[in-house]
Structure 1
Amino acid sequence: MIIPPWTASRPRLSESPQRTQGPGKRSEGSTSVHEAERLQDELKESVVRTSAPIEPPRTVTGLDVTYDTGSDRAVAAAVVVDVASLEVVEVAFHRGEATFPYVPGLLAFREVPLLVAAIERLSTPPALLVCDGYGLAHPKRFGLASHLGVVLDLPSYGVAKTAFVGEFTPPAEQRGAHADLTDAGEVIGSVVRTQTAVKPVFVSAGHRIGLDDCVSLTLRLSGRHRIPEPTRQADIESRKMLREWRSLE
């Protein structure tokens, strides 16, 4: 597996039970857009696409990053949610600074270092990652969920509020309805109605999980809200921590 420069020296998640140090400003700050595109092309070759069903996980870890307005300061949150009850089991944060610019299609190079640092603060390595973003539903078929899944070698998928690429016919209005998201004749995701008569979400497999399982888990995790509980809670917690960070100044 090809590991990006900012994670190459880090232990695998299974090797260290206690992780409190984030990635900081190492080589990611010097990664150029050209180098990021080259690395992205290499990393995507490691994506495991599958249609085989997985064993339903007991917990799922939702991920999100909230940025301070007008700066590169950010808080990444990793929230572990019990699949059966949708209760929050554990929350971990990383406060830091994004050192790669915002470039459409290269969001992972901005967020992966922050998210890895938050994940490493969890007391138990996650079983499955759900990102606020895209997996295969990406121009390079390698969005944030795929990138993070490959880097950590974990099953991962993305749930986004809007489509980045692709075409679709809106699904029926009832909860559970879904339709293919396609691009250049390839099914790259699913447009899923998580609540009746509410705007759908855009689900795409990231790494080591099939689209059918992604759709099923998204519905199971959505509860009473449009957004699945793991990423909804990660958004809430990262925003809350950012407010607390500001209040200390």
Structure 2
Amino acid sequence: MQEAVAVQEKLRGLVEVADVGTTPQYVAGLDVAYDGDRLAAAVVLLDATTLEEVDRAVVRGATAFPYIPGLFAFREVPALLSALAELTIRPGLLVCDGQGLAHPRRFGLACHLGVLTGIPAIGVAKTAYVGTHGALGIARGATAELVDGDDVVGAAVRTQDGVKPVYVSVGHRVTLATAVAQVLRLAPAYRLPETTRLADRACREGLRDG
């Protein structure tokens, strides 16, 4: 565990909180499903304009790292990197089912994957791991800063009128404003972005059919 924390502390300094590159043409959703020690990691690539699927990869394997809060990335990163390597098109943005800077050590899954791949990355989580936020309007597009201590670590984002917000944070090579805008664009009809919905379905199917 101490070695894993040391890796996070070392890599954290490589995170870039700035918009790097051009607007992505292809956006990838990443997710991992588990059944005991078995896992299936999925990456689903969408056309950023039409949200149509253009590629996908599913990798099956076994967990090699225990579940430890704050070190979740170490369970998922190896399989997700393998899945990314199988894509025939390089994504311009990674949308991770998890946290980025909204993490106790400011280095969640989205930061980890972003730094290792060099691809801009954001975290979109169903619940907040760290931080609190103020009142949030009920209309789609309403946002509130997610604050942990003295740091703004992300944003609560209402993607549909009256539904629970999602929690968006920077992973690497994007700003928070860009991350929020991307999530709203990727969630035209449901609470979760299409990237997340399709990756979740793909990894569950991969686990069932494996």
Contact between 1:79 and 1:92, CA under 8 Å: does it hold in 2? yes
| Structure of greater relative contact order (alpha carbons < 8 Å, 6+ residues apart) | 2
- 1:123 is aligned with what amino acid? T
- Other-structure match for 1:3: none
Give the deviation of 1:54 after TM superposition.
5.4
- Other-structure match for 2:153: 188
Change (3 A) 1:53 1:195: farther
Give the deviation of 1:170 after TM superposition.
3.4
What residue ranges of structure 2 are gaps of 5+ in the alignment? none
Higher strand share: 2
The CA deviation string for residues 202-224 of structure 1, in whole angstroms up to 9 with x for no partner, is 00000010000000000000021
Alignment equivalent of 1:66, drawn from 12, 27, 33: 33
- Other-structure match for 1:241: 206
- Other-structure match for 1:55: 22
* Residue 175 of structure 2 corresponds to residue 207 of structure 1: no
- Other-structure match for 2:69: 104
Contact between 2:31 and 2:203, CA under 8 Å: does it hold in 1? yes
Contact between 2:24 and 2:91, CA under 8 Å: does it hold in 1? no
**Cα distance between partner residues in 2 of 1:47 and 1:197:** 34
Contact between 2:139 and 2:160, CA under 8 Å: does it hold in 1? yes
* Residue 198 of structure 2 corresponds to residue 230 of structure 1: no
Give the deviation of 1:84 after TM superposition.
1.3
Determine helix, strand or coil for the equivalent of 2:42: strand
TM-score (norm 2): 0.97
Contact between 1:193 and 1:199, CA under 8 Å: does it hold in 2? yes
Alignment equivalent of 1:85, drawn from 50, 59, 74: 50
**Cα distance between partner residues in 1 of 2:135 and 2:162:** 11
Alignment equivalent of 1:42, drawn from 2, 5, 10: 10
**Cα distance between partner residues in 2 of 1:62 and 1:127:** 11
Give the deviation of 1:87 after TM superposition.
1.2
- Other-structure match for 1:22: none
- 2:29 is aligned with what amino acid? G
Give the deviation of 1:154 after TM superposition.
1.0
- The 5 Å alignment of 1:103-122 reads 103-122=68-87
Contact between 1:86 and 1:223, CA under 8 Å: does it hold in 2? no
Give the deviation of 1:55 after TM superposition.
2.7
**Cα distance between partner residues in 2 of 1:135 and 1:221:** 18
The CA deviation string for residues 179-237 of structure 1, in whole angstroms up to 9 with x for no partner, is 10001121110100000000000000000100000000000000211000011100011
TM-score (norm 1): 0.82
**Cα distance between partner residues in 2 of 1:109 and 1:215:** 26
- 1:169 is aligned with what amino acid? G
**Matched pairs, number:** 210
Contact between 1:201 and 1:226, CA under 8 Å: does it hold in 2? yes
Query: Which contiguous aligned blocks of 4+ residues in structure 1 show a shift greater than 3 angstroms?
Result: none
- Identity in percent: 50
- The 5 Å alignment of 1:119-158 reads 119-158=84-123
**Cα distance between partner residues in 2 of 1:170 and 1:214:** 20
| Structure with bigger gyration radius | 1
Give the deviation of 1:98 after TM superposition.
1.2
